[in-house]
């Protein structure tokens, strides 16, 4: 990226800001950008411009760190990575469960799909490790990689021998968690993210809970322990228990405030949507519970900026 | 636990402003130095944090100036920010003291000869 392209990228990034904000702060943002990229290479300038663009989008959508909505996303992001990691690790049971022959790797798409199924949990584990150590740039890159891998996996599955058998909702089910979790992680304001001992305990508890619950569901689904009728209940039941469990963990180990409650709900929302995409009565109840607990404080808070000074808020 | 500790970017920003007011790029440089090169705050992230801290009343815009034809604001720690930073420093000091005490106890336990009475 040349200097000229660099200033073009910055201009585009500034255009993403609301006009009034750009008029008031554009000159200063430009000045800081110019100084920060004085000795930077093309990649450094592009990353700086992307960061300014992200700031503009957050201002425009009300997801800045000075808004409760941004705080809720910052609360949700680490927990969402933990839930996704636990769920994907539990998903490995499908490959290794004794007596189950799930993937006849007879064609190239089958083999690649199988490799993707094995690689995805590793990417999520790496993302979790990055979150654990507070390396959010790496965590975001890994989550985006997991999203891309999952998209590729779904495309491959469409061409594989197993395919989706004319049920596109399976594709939605497989994409819901990586795409929505990725959206939460990317939208969370960077200046509210960082490592802390209480967050690490929350990550441990949430990952373990999601893995244990997910493994239970996998075993029941794999071996049909309770018959077909029970399978329609177990998904929503899992999502409900997961939501309640993550909420308890977050309230016990984190701050007991509105953004924690909403953050826990947003963190389990991708999984909840995944298991309730084929709406059953139990699924509707769980989905409504999670949506209400995530969106009511979210929407209430979105109308007003952050209230004065509690140090606990950052 | 009812109170959330400061996240690292916020702590570093308040620390960077603790001794004197600074402008945006000065803050990026100072945070880089304080964190010994571990944290490189980018323009958009810095500005998001500044927006929030100004709104919370933890920092304030001390003055606006034009240097080499470039407009820039100079930020200073507000009274509330000083209190928050002092409270966080105290919290961290207590954690460090406890960690040192436990490490010392562990070392003492490790060098005590087997069978010796406490």
**Partner residue facing B1 (CB), from A55, A64, A254:** A254
Q: Do B42 and A313 touch (CB under 8 A)?
A: no
- Can you give the pLDDT at residue B108? 84
**Contact between residue A226 and residue A220 where contact means Cβ atoms under 8 Å apart:** yes
Q: Which tens digits make up the pLDDT trace of B16-75?
A: 999 999 999 999 999 999 999 888 899 999 999 999 999 999 999 999 888 777 778 999
| Lookup: tokens for A181 | 């979790």
Residues of A in contact with B49 (CB under 8 A): 65, 191
- Can you give the pLDDT at residue A301? 53
Task: Provide the residue ranges of all domains of chain A, joining segments of one domain with +.
Answer: 3-61, 68-313
Delineate the domains of chain B, giving CATH numbers in brackets: 8-111 (1.10.10.10)
Q: Work out the average pLDDT over B100-109.
A: 89
Nearest chain A residue to B87, by CA? A311
Residues of A in contact with B45 (CB under 8 A): 51, 55, 189-191
pLDDT tens for chain A, 314 residues long, are 555 555 888 999 999 999 999 998 898 899 899 888 988 888 889 999 999 999 999 999 989 998 888 989 999 999 999 999 999 888 877 677 666 555 555 666 666 667 777 788 899 999 999 999 888 889 999 999 999 988 887 777 776 655 555 556 667 777 888 899 999 999 999 888 877 777 888 899 999 999 999 888 887 777 766 555 666 778 788 888 998 999 999 888 877 777 888 899 999 988 888 877 666 777 777 778 777 777 766 565 555 544 443 444 45
Interface test with B, best of A306, A311, A312, A313 (most B CBs within 10 A): A311
Residues of A in contact with B28 (CB under 8 A): 32, 35-36
- Can you give the pLDDT at residue A236? 83
Nearest chain A residue to B4, by CA? A312
Question: Which ipTM was obtained for this model?
Answer: 0.80
Least Cα separation, residue A182 to chain B (angstroms): 19
- Can you give the pLDDT at residue A144? 94
């Amino acid at each position: 990226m040349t200097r000229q392209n660099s200033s073009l990228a910055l201009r585009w990034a500034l255009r993403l800001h609301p006009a009034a904000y750009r008029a008031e702060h554009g000159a200063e943002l430009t000045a800081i950008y110019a100084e920060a990229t004085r000795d930077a290479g093309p990649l450094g300038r592009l990353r700086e411009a992307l960061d300014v663009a992200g700031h503009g989008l957050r201002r425009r959508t009300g997801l800045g760190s000075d808004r409760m909505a941004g705080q809720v996303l910052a609360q949700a992001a680490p927990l969402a990575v933990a839930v996704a990691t636990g769920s994907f690790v539990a998903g490995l049971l499908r490959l290794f469960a004794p007596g189950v022959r799930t993937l006849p790797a007879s064609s190239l798409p089958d083999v690649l799909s199988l490799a993707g199924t094995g690689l995805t949990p590793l990417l999520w584990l790496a993302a979790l490790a990055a979150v654990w150590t507070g390396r959010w740039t790496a965590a975001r890159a890994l989550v985006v990689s997991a999203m891309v891998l999952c998209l590729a996996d779904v495309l491959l599955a469409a061409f594989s021998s197993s395919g989706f058998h004319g049920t596109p909702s399976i594709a939605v089910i497989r994409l819901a968690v990586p795409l929505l979790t990725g959206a939460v992680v990317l939208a969370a304001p960077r200046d509210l993210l960082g490592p802390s001992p209480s967050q690490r305990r929350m990550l441990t508890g949430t990952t373990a809970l999601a893995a244990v619950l997910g493994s239970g569901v996998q075993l029941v689904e794999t071996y049909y322990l309770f018959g077909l009728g029970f399978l329609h209940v177990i998904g929503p039941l899992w999502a409900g228990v997961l939501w309640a469990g993550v909420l308890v963990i977050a309230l016990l180990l984190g701050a007991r405030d509105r953004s924690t409650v909403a953050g826990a709900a947003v963190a389990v929302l991708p999984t909840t949507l995944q298991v309730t995409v084929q709406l059953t009565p139990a699924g509707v109840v769980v989905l409504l519970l999670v949506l209400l607990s995530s969106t009511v404080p979210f929407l209430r808070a979105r109308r007003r900026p952050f209230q004065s000074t509690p140090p606990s808020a950052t | 636990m009812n109170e959330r500790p400061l996240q690292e970017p916020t702590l570093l920003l308040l620390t960077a402003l603790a001794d004197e007011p600074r402008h945006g790029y000065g803050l990026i440089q100072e945070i880089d130095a304080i964190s010994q090169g571990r944290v490189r705050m980018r323009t958009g992230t810095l500005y998001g944090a500044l927006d929030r801290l100004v709104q919370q009343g933890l920092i304030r815009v001390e003055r606006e100036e034009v240097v080499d034809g470039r407009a820039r604001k100079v930020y200073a720690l507000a009274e509330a920010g000083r209190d928050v930073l002092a409270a966080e420093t105290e919290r961290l000091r207590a954690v460090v003291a406890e960690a040192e005490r436990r490490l010392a106890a562990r070392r003492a336990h490790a060098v005590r000869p087997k069978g010796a009475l406490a």
